[in-house]
Structure 1
Amino acid sequence: MSNDDINNNVQPYQQILEKDLWDDITKKFMLADRQVSSKILPPLADNPYEFKLLPQGTRDGFTENSFWSLCAKQTHLVVIIKVNATEEILGGSNPIGWDKPVKKDFCKRCKDSFIFSLRNGTIQNSILSRAKDPE
């Protein structure tokens, strides 16, 4: 990673990293040939998850129709959106999938859905909201 990448993409999450790991990152940032002493776990060899990028606003457009044409009937969705003006990251997960509503009172039941907001790169300003009512 470049110095800019560390500064822009890692440093905002410093508070959720272990202190020793953050110390190692800053030392490596200053002295490129310095060894890292933090315990680094190997990548998971048997990762049971498969991630697919469905819609991408810069590629598919930022419209409701592009979202529904690529995401309708998909299950185990995680949606992540970056708000340019505020740099806020919004998102959520819906394990049962989304169907484009045809009626106003249409709903599905799921107790495992959640939404989140990551604000200004600080964990204190972040929000995680889990479903209280399955509807």
Structure 2
Amino acid sequence: ILPDLSDELFRSIDPKHDLLQKRVSAYPFDSRIINAKDAALIATWIDNKQEKPYRFKELPFKFELIYRASQEHFSINKFHESCDNKGPTVVIIKVLNSEEIIGGYNPLDWRSVELINDGNRRLPSYVYNNHKCKTSKSFIFSLLSSSKGAIPRFSRISTKNEAIIWCNNKGPCFGLQDLWIQNNSSVT
């Protein structure tokens, strides 16, 4: 009688789903590298609000993932397809075999070619190769895992005439080689 009873009991409480549903974060944020607190810190740096840092829920803008290098095989062409002419961008990089995160902020946009309108088509008219862009609002930064207890650091540009570099055969370039990303950067 016991096996029959247990079968009857389990039949009536059989779960409707085999797997637990994925939890939804209170801070919807599509990054495998930084968390919402890091994003709020970067936003604070962007708006130069160190005296009153943002909280994630108070951000005046939305972070949107437009390129994930690990999914695109670290392709420079895919970077430019995804990021050129999109306006201000934050680049976030996890350093291989370390807990360090580095990155930069470009208040302009990225470009690899200049496009001209020719009727109904947009045609490339000029390929950028180490074109220096002027801005005083860009910066680079470094974050360490919070388990290390390190203080995040950022550095505003010192020479605004060459703050951002546009180049068709490189990814994001900050300064004259302060932080440059090239093809196969995942292995260097």
TM-score range, shorter chain: 0.5 to 0.7
Structure 1 vs Structure 2 CA RMSD: 3.1
Within-5 A mapping of 1:1-135? 43-44=57-58, 48-100=60-112, 102-104=128-130, 106-121=131-146, 122-124=149-151, 126-135=152-161
Size of the aligned set, in residue pairs, is 96
Q: Which runs of 5+ in 1 are unaligned?
A: 2-8, 14-40
- SS across alignment from 1:49: coil
Render the CA deviation track for 1:71-112: whole Å, top value 9, x for unaligned. Answer: 1112110111112311210111011112227233x1111000
Greater helix percent: which structure?
1
Which runs of at least 4 in structure 1 moved beyond 6 Å after TM superposition?
none
Q: Which residue of 1 aligns with 2:166?
A: none
Render the CA deviation track for 1:7-43: whole Å, top value 9, x for unaligned. Answer: xx99xx9xxxxxxxxxxxxxxxxxxxxxxxxxxx894
TM-score (norm 2): 0.43
Relative contact order higher in (CA < 8 Å, ≥ 6 apart): 1
Tell me how far 1:113 sits from its aligned partner.
0.1
**Cα distance in 1, alignment partners of residues 129 and 96 from structure 2:** 32
Tell me how far 1:48 sits from its aligned partner.
3.5
Render the CA deviation track for 1:42-87: whole Å, top value 9, x for unaligned. Answer: 944xx54122101112322212222111111121101111123112
Greater strand percent: which structure?
2
What is the identity percentage for the equivalent residue pairs of Structure 1 and Structure 2? 31
Q: Which runs of 5+ in 2 are unaligned?
A: 1-22, 24-33, 39-54, 113-126, 162-188
